[in-house]
Structure 1
Amino acid sequence: MNPSRALAPAIAALLVCRPAAATVSCGQDCYQADSCEQAAVQAAVDAALAQNGGTVKIPDPAGAPCQWSKAVQVDGTLAPLDIVGQSQDTTRIRVSEQAFDVAGKPGTRLTISQLQLSDATCTGTCDSIIGVGGGDQWRFHHLRFETTGVFTRLFRTYGQTFGLIDHVTVTGSTPSEFVTVDDEGFPAWKRPLDLGGLAAVYVEDSDIAFTGSWEGRPFDGENGGRMVVRKNKIRNQMLGSHGLDSGFGASIFSVIAYSNSFVLDDDAPAWSSKTWGRLAHFRGGTGILYDNDWTIGGDIWIGAAHIDLAIYRTPTDAGGNEHWQPCDGSQYRMCSNIGKDWSLQSGNFPYNCKSDQDCVDEIGAGTTCKWKTCSVSKLELCAADGDCPSSETCNGYLDGPAADGYPCYMQPGFGTQMQRAPWYEWGNTRKGGEGSSGCNGCDVDFGEDVSQLEPGRDYFDDVPVGTALPASCKPHDGFFHTAERVLYACDAAGKWQKHYTEPPYPHPLQGGSSGGTGGSAGSGGSGGSGGAGAAGGGAAGTAGAAGSGGATKGESDDDGGCGCTLPRSESSGFGALALALLLARARRHRPSC
């Protein structure tokens, strides 16, 4: 038996009414952090996970926001957990490093809600404020972010993980990417298309507003990520993605975006350049965009008022080929420093090659230009026919046989196993804009300027809609059935097949543990505000007493407080120390962007 679990009941009992413990009970399966300081929240999380999970309640600061300089580690593989503050307006935490580092497990609930998170001068790796890997039942909701762009992104997902981000409010100047959706990398492109399925990262019902502009920080995704963005208000930020291009990972797999309202405004203090390059920017995979609208300020010049599709590996691109050799008709294989399953065996990254020397130059001595792809299943690496599925041969190369390399590996318009999966759009409109770039009630279509992308093959503009399928169709034609909320696509035999079914709204996870408000727990201590250049450097404030009352499992989320109101004393450190010693967990390490 795990010794920490064996001793956990005794520790929990000790913490229930012991003076000034870092965690006190607030009812059955409820753990009240002694303050909103990072150490107190970590102790409460560990105490909950040592039992059967439950609710961790974070009190408001007594004055200035609590200062965090390291992440709370949340091992959600152990038990269900809800982490909840009192209110997104009052439970204020200022972070100079990641706030929550979350590991999830399929089928196990994990939520974070009712917190206000603001950024401070970075003191570590400021890749994301909340990072999550694993699991399919996580929900981050009713959160408020106040940001100045210190963090590259607010949320980041890692590995095969699916969940929901909803009812998030963002205000700030310099944008951070709202979310970067990653998956498990190249193997993610082997899984079924499943457009509209719940095996994706969903963002819905959120209000995201930046006053500044940074097109290089969009909604983003890569490494096989699957993203659904719907029914949000998004100001001065666009949707985008990475392809197989400016990083060493796989392209994003899919993006679904519908019923969002975007604003590119000219309100003070708007950015000085008064320009915006395009309305969205996708560099790989497949996707569906419909019924979105863009409102553009009257003095904002739109360079290309379309949904941009791009291939950074095209030879004419100035900035996308630094990590991969260009898509130019060459017969590329993959270097031998990765395994047949795409796992990295040596070196720091995978690389495409025409010769052994390419691999030696980029990876190191002893590597060879080894792996071809199977003839149909293009995500299956092979050195011989026996490495391929039945009836396939090992005669494929990374890019296609055309003179320009079409199809480029993982380019827009392809999905599972590099089989054709065009982009579709309909019902997207824009209004506003400066001069000849402006328009009122105009249609928004796809746009591209590379030879490897063609309309009617890799993407389809203005998909027809209605309640009766046309009698005939050509391969890959689309039709959106408005009564069924289904996008049909025409197969190779000229028959309509369901391609995408609009997912249920709201997301089913909104019907789970909502977190609500955190209740009436007493105020916790706050670190001093510190200087702007040394976030969290102030002295710790005095923690307030925990509130009274006690919620039990299954009661309303408005029930709050703790079962005991306790003074602080010198003996209070014993419980926290015992808990820390017994329940310490190794920090997980994940690669940054």
Structure 2
Amino acid sequence: MVNIRKLKLQNFFYAISLLSFTCVESGSLNQAQSIEDRAIIKASGCSQAEVQAAIDSASDGTVVLVPAGNCIWTSGIDFSNKNITVQGAGIDQTIITDATGSAWNEVPIFISGTESKPFRITGFTFTGQDGSNGIIMIRGNSKNWRIDDCKFEISSGIEIGWYSWTYGVIDHCIFTGNKTFSCILVHADDSTDWARPLSLGGEKAVYVEDCTFDFKTVNEWNVAIDASFGGRFVFRHNKLTNITIGTHDVCNNPGRGVHSYEIYENSFTMDGQSAYRGINLRGGTGVIYNNTFTTVNGGNFTNPIMVTNYRSCSEIVQDQCERFGWDTCDGNSQLDGNLDSTGYPCLDQIGRTSDIDGDGIQDSAPLYEWNNALDGSDTDIKIHTFDNCDNSSVRDHIKENRDYYNDKPMPGYTPYAYPHPLSKGSSSTKKS
């Protein structure tokens, strides 16, 4: 995986950056207001200039309607610090082709939100050329936003948060193409997030639910969702074909690793394609349950669920981590807990969370897996070791029944309400 700042150069991009938007007037999760009851501004067309003009004239609470059409955008729109809905005419009705530039922030939609200004984006198809830097990029601290009923046919999608804390829900979206792209990237505010308590089953995470990820070919470096810099996400009730899930630890980027994840009630299918792993987790903790992995037409999942730690392997560290300031977890690094000669626990590794007791060692929080199946048979977490280093090193740092548990529900865990309260708002509009 690669540093986000180099995504363009390495053609490793995301469909949706962390984007904040919602269907509520305030930050409340319980009061969805219908679009018909809100002020409406109609953009005169779907060009970037026409949409931006409508957004500029919109006050908080307004719905900006973008008509059907097929428009090429060479620059993006920005509606930072506004509590508005931007709504197209529907999937395959309002089609935006990305022709923006190559700079990291040159994307069709850029939002730098504030906590009291949730927002929503709905009813678009986004397409474009390979090498895109993404479609939606979310920065700032907006909470309770929503992105829904959109289609992404491009080499990248949504990127969320970059040294910022923002969360909401992405629901009923379609990500598709002849080859996979990395669809959703979840960042947070790095070490600041790692100082917050673990909060599984709560609202303070990026939710992805009821989405479809459908691709013709698979590339395991391109994933449906990825996370680092303290990112927290919930990935549930989604359908994936020829695409996988992955997360980052502290290695090949300058930030901290993924903090937490809840991955459940998803269906993964390999249709005529092969994947070494379906879910690849490199740090943090959470739950993985009630997922199905299916192979058809000669497809194959070698290892549906795998965990690893790059800093366990000195050769990997030299190749990918040292240039970002990360050294090997071997008992000699002040980054780690160093409870034994191996350095265990390694910083942000599988089965560890925030150091709430302040003793300088990250607290234990094992990962739990249960009721996952490959072609109808039980499948469990396996440890991913490396061919070019001492394979025992990863197993020294990640151990079953200490750092993770197979076939055991997490004690006391309760999932957040489904569907997500934000996803209950209407995405239809009565047009005059």
Instruction: Name the structure 2 match of 1:277.
Output: 276
Contact 2:247–2:283 (Cα < 8 Å) also in 1: yes
Q: How big is the shift at 1:28?
A: 6.7
Match of 1:308 among 306, 309, 319: 306
Secondary structure of the structure 2 residue equivalent to 1:425: strand
Q: How big is the shift at 1:27?
A: 10
d(CA) in 2 for partners of 1:144, 1:421: 36
Equivalent residues in 2 for 1:151-550 (5 A)?
Answer: 151=156, 153-158=157-162, 159-218=164-223, 219-266=225-272, 274-303=273-302, 305-318=303-316, 319-322=319-322, 323=324, 324-332=326-334, 398-417=336-355, 418-431=362-375, 441-448=376-383, 449=385, 450=394, 451-463=396-408, 480=409, 487-488=410-411, 498=412, 500-512=413-425, 514-516=426-428
Contact 2:63–2:84 (Cα < 8 Å) also in 1: yes
Change (3 A) 1:423 1:560: same
Contact 2:38–2:63 (Cα < 8 Å) also in 1: no
Match for 1:101: what amino acid? Answer: F
Match of 1:40 among 50, 68, 72: 50
Match for 2:295: what amino acid? Answer: I
| Bigger RCO of structures 1 and 2 (CA < 8 A, at least 6 apart) | 1
Kindly tell me the number of residue pairs found equivalent between the two proteins. 368
Match for 2:431: what amino acid? Answer: G
Instruction: Name the structure 1 match of 2:112.
Output: 103
Contact 1:80–1:110 (Cα < 8 Å) also in 2: yes
**What does the per-residue CA deviation read over 1:483-532, in whole Å, with 9 as the maximum and x for residues that have no partner?**
xxxx41xxxxxxxxx3x2111011010134x332xxxxxxxxxxxxxxxx
Instruction: Name the structure 1 match of 2:21.
Output: none
The answer as to 2:89 corresponding to 1:86 is: yes
Contact 1:111–1:515 (Cα < 8 Å) also in 2: no
Contact 1:231–1:260 (Cα < 8 Å) also in 2: yes
Q: Under a length normalisation based on structure 1, what TM-score does the superposition of the two structures give? A: 0.60
Match for 1:502: what amino acid? Answer: P
Instruction: Name the structure 2 match of 1:560.
Output: 431
Counting aligned pairs with the same residue, the percent is 31
Match for 2:145: what amino acid? Answer: W
Instruction: Name the structure 2 match of 1:54.
Output: 62
Instruction: Name the structure 2 match of 1:546.
Output: none
d(CA) in 2 for partners of 1:86, 1:275: 37
Instruction: Name the structure 1 match of 2:389.
Output: none
* Unmatched segments (≥5 aa) in structure 1: 1-25, 267-273, 333-396, 432-440, 464-479, 481-486, 489-497, 517-556, 562-593
Contact 2:152–2:176 (Cα < 8 Å) also in 1: yes
Match for 2:414: what amino acid? Answer: T
The answer as to 2:145 corresponding to 1:138 is: yes
Secondary structure of the structure 1 residue equivalent to 2:57: helix
d(CA) in 2 for partners of 1:307, 1:28: 45
Contact 1:96–1:121 (Cα < 8 Å) also in 2: no
Secondary structure of the structure 1 residue equivalent to 2:417: coil
Secondary structure of the structure 2 residue equivalent to 1:45: helix
The answer as to 2:29 corresponding to 1:117 is: no
d(CA) in 2 for partners of 1:276, 1:42: 42
Contact 1:259–1:290 (Cα < 8 Å) also in 2: yes
d(CA) in 2 for partners of 1:32, 1:232: 33
Q: Under a length normalisation based on structure 2, what TM-score does the superposition of the two structures give? A: 0.81
The ranges of structure 1 where at least 4 consecutive aligned residues each deviate by more than 2 angstroms after the TM superposition are: 26-29, 103-109, 153-158, 297-303, 315-323
**What does the per-residue CA deviation read over 1:418-439, in whole Å, with 9 as the maximum and x for residues that have no partner?**
21111001000011xxxxxxxx
**What does the per-residue CA deviation read over 1:364-419, in whole Å, with 9 as the maximum and x for residues that have no partner?**
xxxxxxxxxxxxxxxxxxxxxxxxxxxxxxxxx53424221111111111011221
d(CA) in 2 for partners of 1:317, 1:256: 31
Match for 1:88: what amino acid? Answer: I
